[in-house]
């Protein structure tokens, strides 16, 4: 097991690069879609700036959405890596259940409640 100085919750470099590329691709795609939709809706009565603003808005929305998903995925990867290295999840309920399952067979009752009667 690595020492605490060597442990890092950061995801691998390749995963961060893939997330960055996905954010850029989503931004470009959202920009193209926003530009196209605004251009089609505007017709010939709008200036060239209006479809450009639509493209900018579409790119921003798409990039932010994918960035949120990528951030959550990278955090999950870091937490999973920590769980694999230490065996502890940081959630006291999960760790308590894990320690209970290691010390003996699972208990048949849940907490202080008696077993239900079945007819």
Question: What's the pLDDT tens digit per position in 18-60?
Answer: 999 999 999 999 999 999 999 888 877 788 788 899 999 999 9
Instruction: Answer whether residue 91 is part of any domain.
Output: yes
pLDDT at 67 over 60: yes
Residue 57 lies in a domain: yes
* CA nearest neighbour of 51 among 26, 29, 34, 30: 34
**Residue 99 is encoded by which pair of tokens?**
């320690």
| Rounded (5°) CA angle 85-81-97 | 65
- Domain containing 66 equals 13-99
* Per-residue pLDDT at 78 exceeds 70: yes
pLDDT on residue 43 = 76
Is residue 7 domain-resident? no
105 pLDDT band (50/70/90 cuts)?
Answer: low
Q: What average pLDDT does this structure show over 6-20?
A: 83
Give the count of domains, the chain. Answer: 1
* Helices 13-42, 49-86: inter-axial angle, 10-degree rounding: 160
- Whether 88 is in a domain gets the answer yes
The residue ranking higher by pLDDT, 85 or 103, is: 85
Question: Has residue 21 been placed in a domain?
Answer: yes
């Amino acid at each position: 097991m690595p020492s605490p100085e060597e442990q890092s919750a950061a995801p691998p470099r390749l995963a961060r690069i893939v997330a960055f590329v996905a954010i850029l691709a989503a931004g470009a795609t959202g920009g193209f879609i926003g530009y196209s939709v605004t251009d089609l809706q505007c017709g010939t009565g709008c200036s060239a700036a209006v479809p450009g603003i639509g493209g900018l808005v579409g790119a921003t929305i798409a990039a932010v959405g994918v960035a949120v998903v990528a951030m959550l995925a990278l955090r999950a990867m870091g937490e999973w890596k920590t769980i694999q290295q230490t065996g502890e999840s940081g959630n006291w309920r999960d760790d308590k259940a894990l320690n209970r399952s290691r010390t003996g067979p699972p208990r048949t009752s849940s907490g202080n409640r008696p077993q239900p009667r079945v007819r």
